Structure formats: structure tokens, C-alpha cells
Amino acid sequence: MTAVKCSSCGSGMECPKSMTAAAMHICSNCTGKAGDEKMQAFAKDAQRVIDYIGAIGENLEKMGIKGKEFDDIMKSVDPKAFESVKENPDTEEGLAKIMNKLIFRGDWQKQLEWTEKHGTQGDVEVVRRGMGRG
């Protein structure tokens, strides 16, 4: 996590390293102050998307995926898939399922092959469990 400033109020907040280049950052205090319920719902959903992308980005960085390869992977994310994401990005299994939905579009075999090339043996085991093989 990296310290950034809220685009609305200027207070300090934590942001995943992979999201520091975002055009705007909105702290939870400003999100909570939004009076309109639709705005609050939008802000909450937007923050959830940012958190998921940040968790994916941090995991990819841990695997040594950086630069153009990282950018290519993040560009492949299907934004519409965020609507169905309910998993916790703070667990290995949750993050594997999120990556499967957003990056690999449900193709566990493709994710397994990619993880065998880029991940650790532990990462491979998590994907296999996601596939029902572990």
C-alpha cells in the first residue's frame, strides 16, 4: 500500500501500489459523506472495483509481473465481470476466483497454465483447488 491524498478532501489514505496512477482517489470519509444514496452506492461499488484491481495488481507484482506484461493483463480485465464478483480479494482462493472471472473469463485451464508459468507452486495449488482438483 502507498500513501495518497483524497481527491475530494485532501486527507491522507492508503492505496494499492498498482492504483497510485489513478486519476482520482476517494477516501472512505468522503464516500460516507455523500448524501445521495445513489452516489453512496456508486462510490461503494467503485471502491470495491478499485480494491479488487489493487489486490490483483499486488498479486501480479508478487509474481514478478511488471511493465508491459502487467499492463497487457490489466487491459484484458472484463469490466462487466465486476458485477458478479463477490469473493474476498484478501484470501488466496478468493483472489484466484476473482482473477479467473476478470482476467481468464472463466477458463480455469488457461489460468492454471498461466500460473504454472508465472506463479509459485502454492499459487498453482490454489488454482487447482479452484478447479476442483486440489
d(CA 39, CA 5): 20
Taking the mean position of all CA atoms in its chain, how far away is CA 64? 16
- The one-letter code for the residue type at 30 is C
User: What residue spans define the domains of the chain?
Assistant: 2-131
Q: What are phi and psi of 15, to 5 degrees?
A: -140, 140
Could you read off the pLDDT tens digit of each residue along the chain, which spans 134 residues? 788 888 878 889 888 777 777 767 778 777 666 556 666 676 776 777 777 777 777 777 777 777 777 777 777 777 677 677 778 777 888 888 888 887 788 899 998 998 898 888 988 999 999 898 75
- Please, which residues bridge with residue 4 across strands? 13
Q: What is the CA radius of gyration of the chain?
A: 16
